A and B are shown apart, each in its own frame.
Chain A
Amino acid sequence: MSDVVLTTENLSKTYMMGKREVPALRNLNLQVNRGEFVAVMGPSGSGKTTLLNVLGCLDKPTSGKVILDKVDVSNLHERELYKIRRNKIGFIFQTFNLLPYLNAIENIELPMENAKASKSERRAKAGKLLGLVGLAGREEHRPQRLSAGEQQRVAIARALANDPAIILADEPTGNLDTKNKHEIVRLLAKLNIDQGTTVIMVTHDSQVASHTERMLLLNDGKIAKEKQGLLVTKKKNICPYCGGKIQPSDYRCPSCNKRL
């Protein structure tokens, strides 16, 4: 019996463009288990970002429910929602959205600002997270002194700061070159495998999406198609390309030498 972390029931979101109603989500039903890595794909205007905003409590659904970690968040007031966002959700953005006047470690500490932890505990945790994303030693660097890939790593560490139930990533590789793109996806997959972090990632890059467990194709505000990703076999320590045995730490398959 897998543990469901996120459920939507007949989720709809309609925007008003003047007097015209523009439906972005139509009766969307979705279930995400704890520890899953899900990619949401689809053409532009298919409702990917809207879905992510509604799931992330940044926007309210027009109708339907969002149940996050057993709490129905669809009708909560803003007074409650910010706590949900702080404690249950970690956001990763396409443009990283680090605060330019804070250094790497301060950016990571930011979501913990209102948590009960002491200053030194927060600093220690932020340092640990920075190490987890492979940027130990870059604590004092401001965003403008970090490469795009490094900035996104800091943003990922920031998203993990309050041990959220779910990470919502909106085109996290959209602003990155091929090399960094792969590294970020691998990092997310690694966190997913090692820490059991649940990730929902919106992307239009099918190659990036294929590295997840489950790929959802959104069309016209509905889930049009669902596909299994490469991560499923990888989690079983089997190479998705040749079926050979692999270790979780392998970068390339020892049998077929394909990049994992």
Chain B
Amino acid sequence: MVIIALGFSMAIMISIPAGIIANQESAQNLSSTYSNTLNSYQEQINQTLTLIECSLSSGFTSGGFPGGFPGGSPGGMFGGGQYYIYENITDAILSIPGVKDVVPILQVTEGHNETISRFDRTFTILRPDYVIVGVPLNSSLINNYSFLPTNITAGRNLQENDTGVVILSQNNTGYFGVGLGDEVSILGTNFDVVGIQGASSSSDFTNMMNLYMNITDAQTLTNLTGMISRFDVYVNSSDYASTVSSEIQSMYPDGVLTSADTLATISTSTYGDRLSRLQNMTSMYQDTLNTAESTLTQTQSTATDEIIIAVVATSLIVLFVMLYTVRERTKEIGTLKAIGFSSWNVMSQFVLEGTLLSLAAGVVGIAIGSVGAPFLSGILVPFNLFGSNQNGGRGSFGFGFASANPTTPGVAVVAAVPSLQIMLIALGAAVLLGALGSLYPAWRASRIRPAEAMRYE
């Protein structure tokens, strides 16, 4: 009984540091994920000085990056509709002076509806299962611009005039249950899987649900013949970027007709826009990191308090148990003294007993701690940076990206598992506390006068 009670106390002492360390590591992961993400965006942006990304929105400007940046994940996360416009818009755009090429893209998110409650409201959201990305496969475009997947890990990339073939992401292979060389049925049509793109790492989660195919195939498949969902405009030189951007905007003051006979606004994003958004993002990430850091500091101080409480509790348990033991065994102590044990003998015996008791408790504590640390630290460490619940996590931390979808690892959350070092320290603490806690009772025992002890029943 006592050993188990002490064991829990010890387990607390083990779990809290484990939780803290886990939080620190999680924070480091968060930080490195952020910096990886930002770096990769910076690279992408740098390569596209002459690119104006054009996307569609319902009248107000979406903050998303059409390329699939976090906030603007395909189709939008929260009830955002998907807009499709007639592809002949590209001819009109091409006629703007300074425009070199237009790359039409049809991107359709396929998923299932899911109702979630957050705070006091209920949302129906589209949980994406996969994203069909139809791209033009004419040699003049694919040779000059980067819109095909860039990291093919198996098989080949899309080639000129490919049809009936698809590039899956790692994520897709899991969803469809197929691999390279297999045939996959997408919306009832069969495609050959000719390549796998490796966008599944936490730093490149934006494309990880994308499957790429010929835009014509995509249009047929989704019954959106002649429709596109966005387009990339390439200008002759970066000098034209802002004028072409505003020209596109002014060409359609009321919006563009969509497949649903509604009007959608064209949003454009030049290198400058993207750069400033990146800067915004950087500062937002920085804020998050700062918040995380200050939370961590707070957590640590609370945890320190808790450890102190656990230490005090442990010592008190040992103290009371040993005091009780001394009371219980007064007669025995009297006997020992009567048959010639010195006070020192008696005292050292009780200190030894207390120490052994705590040592046993320490072992039990480590056993409980190593199994229960993730749960215990979840309860005890006041604010677990990412919670134990990854799906949907804590909104404030992810910009919807740690929680972008259930399969996105986003940031690797480190589980609180006590290290060997913590265990050894805890064991040492157990022995020390056992010795300290039994010191006073042992002293009391040694002071017992044998004649009185003998009278004690």
Contact = CB atoms under 8 A, between A and B. Distances in A.
A78 B341 CA distance: 11
A97 interface: yes
A97 to B, nearest CB: 4
Contacts of A79: 342
B237 interface: no
B339 A86 contact: yes
B230 interface: no
A35 interface: no
A166 to B, nearest CB: 13
Which of under 10, 10 to 19, 20 to 34, or 35 or more describes the interface residues of A? 20 to 34
A26 B336 CA distance: 29
B25 interface: no
A219 B367 CA distance: 64
A110 interface: yes
A188 to B, nearest CB: 18
A85 B332 contact: no
Interface in B40-75: none
Interface in A158-176: 158-159, 162, 170
Contacts of B332: 97, 99
Contacts of A159: 339
B274 interface: no
Contact of A82 (B341, B451, B454): B341
Contact of A114 (B331, B334, B337, B345): B345
Interface string A73-100: 0000011001101110011010101010
A56 interface: yes
B345 A97 contact: no
- Residue among A56, A82, A95 with most chain B CB within 10 A: A82
Contact of B454 (A93, A99, A110, A111): A93
Contacts of A56: 338
B339 A59 contact: no
Contacts of B335: 91, 93, 97, 99
Contact of B340 (A97, A99, A162, A170): A162
A78 B450 CA distance: 11
B343 A59 contact: no
Contacts of B343: 78, 82
B313 to A, nearest CB: 29
Given A93-B335, A99-B332, A99-B335, A114 B340 contact: yes
B449 interface: yes
A170 B338 CA distance: 12
A237 interface: no
A53 B451 contact: yes
Given A93-B335, A97-B331, A99-B335, A58 B340 contact: no
Interface string A51-67: 00100101100000000
B451 A158 contact: no
- Please list the 7 inter-chain residue pairs (A to B) with the smallest Cβ-Cβ separation, ordered nearest first: A86-B340, A59-B451, A58-B451, A97-B335, A58-B450, A53-B451, A111-B339
25 contacts: A53-B451, A53-B454, A58-B337, A59-B450, A59-B451, A82-B341, A82-B343, A83-B340, A83-B342, A85-B339, A85-B340, A86-B339, A90-B339, A91-B335, A91-B339, A93-B335, A95-B331, A97-B454, A110-B336, A110-B339, A111-B339, A113-B341, A113-B345, A114-B345, A159-B339
